[in-house]
């Protein structure tokens, strides 16, 4: 198996929804076109034509960028795909003018993000919809 990593591949909604269904157990179909059009960058990992990993980099339009939606299809996990996607996202965000890269993550991902150089910070979160 050879995984191909791409910067700004603009996967279609079917590919992203298929990945979301397996990676997040998300059954709701979403339209990702407005998300991708506003992103500073996004990275995709492909097994042939199939999207098997993804990360989005949002931006405030200034010096702050934010890693969002890092995910890998379950059968492709623990192979370094997420690590490579986040490394690529970090480099591209830097190249595109970001000075700070933020990420929020669940506790079980702490080791991954610490290994990739992210420092511990305090943050707040409020759910706006149920």
CATH code, domain with 28: 3.40.630.30
- Residue 59 within any structural domain of the chain: yes
What pLDDT shows up at residue 88?
97
The residue segments making up the domain with residue 107 are 3-115
According to DSSP, residue 32 is labeled -
Question: In whole angstroms, what separates CA 52 from the centre of its chain?
Answer: 12
Domain count, the chain: 1
What pLDDT shows up at residue 66?
95
**For the range 15-23, what are the long-range contacts, defined as Cβ-Cβ under 8 Å and sequence gap of 24 or more?**
15/50, 15/51, 16/51, 16/54, 18/50, 18/51, 19/51, 19/52, 19/53, 19/54, 19/71, 19/73, 20/71, 22/73, 22/74, 23/71, 23/72, 23/73, 23/74
Chunked into runs of 10 residues, the chain (130 residues) has average pLDDT values of 93 95 90 92 97 96 93 95 97 95 90 91 78
């Amino acid at each position: 198996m050879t995984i191909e990593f791409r910067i700004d591949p603009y996967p279609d909604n079917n590919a992203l929804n298929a990945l979301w269904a397996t990676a997040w157990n998300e059954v709701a179909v979403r339209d990702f076109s407005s998300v991708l059009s506003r992103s500073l960058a996004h990275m995709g990992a492909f097994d042939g034509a199939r999207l098997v990993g993804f990360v989005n980099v949002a931006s405030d339009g200034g010096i702050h960028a934010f890693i969002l939606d890092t995910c890998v299809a379950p059968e492709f996990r623990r192979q370094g795909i997420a690590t490579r996607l986040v490394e690529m996202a970090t480099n591209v965000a830097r190249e595109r003018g970001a000075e700070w890269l933020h990420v929020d993550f669940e506790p079980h991902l702490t080791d991954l993000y610490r290994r990739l150089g992210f420092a511990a910070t305090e943050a707040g979160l409020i759910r706006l919809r149920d």
